[in-house]
């Protein structure tokens, strides 16, 4: 499919999905979500892709739902209104980034509010630009949080801190988000460089090991320690037999950078 609400590229092992509605602060719509799901499928089909950066064009990551569109929700005046106030199908379009085979980085270049904040939580890692504000502002609109807010946030920062943000709907700074453990890095004018360096570090690692690790990490809260030990042993044995493992160990002995092939 062609892309209108987002842009999509893959270069040097780094895939990029960028929200392209800067004039509307990258407000979310069903059609945008459909494009994101299509881009996720393209990343998963591309063996050269090793990491995916998700960002927004302009001064916001995503303002979440467009309030003018949200106001039409009761009458379902247009297709893009469906789900913006709730709806599992709508949520799954944006949270399809959780289905990426490779690690994902939400490059939070600006404010991320409501559903836009939830979208960022669907990524594996987050880098925030200093000066950005983030908030689970659903209750301030009189609506229940959606898009897995009550699942992702408590797992990320604990139930008490999550309750604070969800019950009050207050916004927090990039720095407070870092202190809470919501974001992994905060950057200023070097924001793009910090994002690219993080992506480059992941892309330079063994792709078989990284993809397997992503699968292991995502299910860690649902497994006992015994199950985790068994799974890690199984995955480590499988990757140890790979050409990438041989290359990685040879590179260390030769004191050079490894050249992984994903085999």
Over pLDDT 90: what percentage of the chain? 73
For the chain, the DSSP string reads ---SSEEEEEETTEEEEEE--GGGTT-B-HHHHHHHHHHHHHHHH-TT--EEEEEESTTEEE--B-HHHHTTGGGT-SGGGTTTT--HHHHHHHGGGGG-SS-EEEEE-SEEETHHHHHHHTSSEEEEETT-EEE--GGGGT----TTHHHHHHHHH-HHHHHHHHHH--EEEHHHHHHHTS-SEEESTTHHHHHHHHHHHHHTS-HHHHHHHHHHHHTGGGS-HHHHHHHHHHHHHHHHTSHHHHHHHHHHHHTS-------
Quick one: pLDDT band at residue 80, thresholds 50, 70, 90?
very low
Of the chain, the percentage scoring pLDDT greater than 70 comes to: 92
List, in order of start, the domains of the chain with CATH numbers. Answer: 6-203 (3.90.226.10), 207-254 (1.10.12)
Q: Mean pLDDT throughout 174-185?
A: 98
Mean pLDDT of 200-218: 93
pLDDT at 67: 63
pTM, entire model: 0.91
Average pLDDT over residues 233-256: 85
Looking at residue 131, what is its pLDDT?
96
Helix (H, G, I), strand (E, B) or coil at 51: strand
pLDDT band at 71 (very low <50, low <70, confident <90, very high): very low
114 vs 69, residue with greater confidence? 114
């Amino acid at each position: 499919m062609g892309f209108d609400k987002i842009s999509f590229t893959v270069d040097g092992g780094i895939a990029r999905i960028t929200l392209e509605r800067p004039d509307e602060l990258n407000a979310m719509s069903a059609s945008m979500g459909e494009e994101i799901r299509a881009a996720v499928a393209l990343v998963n089909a591309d063996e050269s892709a090793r990491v995916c950066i998700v960002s927004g064009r302009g001064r916001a990551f995503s303002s979440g739902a467009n309030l003018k569109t949200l106001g039409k929700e009761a009458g379902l005046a247009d297709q893009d209104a469906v789900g913006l106030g709730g709806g599992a199908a709508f949520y799954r379009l944006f949270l399809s980034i959780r289905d990426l085979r490779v690690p994902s980085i939400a490059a939070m270049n600006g404010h991320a509010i409501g559903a836009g904040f939830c979208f960022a939580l669907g990524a594996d890692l987050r880098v925030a630009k200093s000066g950005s504000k983030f908030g689970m502002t659903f209750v301030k609109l009189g609506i229940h949080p959606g898009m897995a807010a009550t699942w992702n946030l408590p797992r990320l920062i604990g139930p008490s801190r999550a309750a604070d943000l969800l019950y009050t709907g207050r916004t927090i700074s990039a720095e407070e988000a870092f202190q809470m453990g919501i974001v992994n890095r905060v950057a200023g004018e070097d924001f793009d460089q910090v994002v690219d360096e993080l992506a480059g570090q992941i892309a330079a690692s063994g792709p078989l090991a990284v993809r397997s690790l992503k699968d292991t990490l995502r299910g860690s809260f649902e497994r006992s320690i015994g199950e985790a030990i068994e799974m890690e042993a199984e995955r480590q044995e499988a990757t140890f037999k790979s050409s990438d493992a041989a290359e990685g160990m040879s590179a260390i002995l030769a004191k050079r950078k490894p050249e992984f092939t994903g085999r």
